[in-house]
Structure 1
Amino acid sequence: MAVLQAADDGVLLRVRVQPRSRAERLDGVQGEQLRVRLSAPPVDGAANAACIALLAKTLGVSRSRVQIRTGAKGRDKVLYIADLTPEQAAAALGMTETETG
């Protein structure tokens, strides 16, 4: 699966989360995943909530439109973003066509 993939009325985004980072930021594409650095610890869903908030803000959508489909308890996650095309997501994330797969 590519970093971004079209899904039912939205996109799937593969990410690799690094919790307890110094700053919250997107760290570019590595392999077939977008690397996301978060300051939140991986405890009680704090890192998941921070990941959703950061991606929603970056993509310009509400947090309710971002859902974790797989990987809620791990670092590798697949997120679903409703009402967004892969092209819109790639543009908002600053990804090139070769990075999107």
Structure 2
Amino acid sequence: MFAVEEKKGDLFFRIFVQPKSSKNMVAGIHGDALKVKITAPPVDGAANAMCIKYFSKFLEVSKSSIEIVSGQTGRNKRVRVVLSDTPGDEVKRRNIVKLLTSYS
């Protein structure tokens, strides 16, 4: 089952990436991960860069707030969303969790 973990204010979740898709999109759940279709090919880090760009727009955070913490060379990845401890980011944190878990 897909889940979003919170550790020290940051959010962590798993994604399963399908590269070379016709468009960038969240395509549901794949095991314990969010399935993401990405247009970029899986070469020279292009798919990872596209994942970061896509999730920054999808979650409405800066690209520097998104980090792939594991799975850089595979389809299964673990993503970290870094948020500060400001009151506005607490609302954003709740909205991100709600958005991501709406697919499960």
Matched, 1:44 2:44: yes
- The question of whether the paired residues in 1 share the 8 Å contact of 2:4 and 2:100 is answered with no
Matched, 1:92 2:99: yes
Measure how far apart 1:91 and its partner are: 2.7
Q: TM-score, normalising length from structure 1?
A: 0.85
Measure how far apart 1:94 and its partner are: 6.3
Q: TM-score, normalising length from structure 2?
A: 0.83
Q: Which runs of 5+ in 1 are unaligned?
A: none
Higher relative contact order (CA 8 A, sep 6+): 1
Return 23-32 or 61-70, whichever deviates more: 23-32
Question: Alignment partner of 1:23: what SS?
Answer: coil
Instruction: Name the CA distance, whole Å, in 1 between partners of 2:99 and 2:62.
Output: 14
Over the aligned positions, Cα root-mean-square deviation in angstroms equals 1.8
Question: Alignment partner of 1:60: what SS?
Answer: coil
Q: How many corresponding residue pairs?
A: 96
Q: What is the letter of the counterpart of residue 71 of structure 1?
A: G
Percent identity reads 34
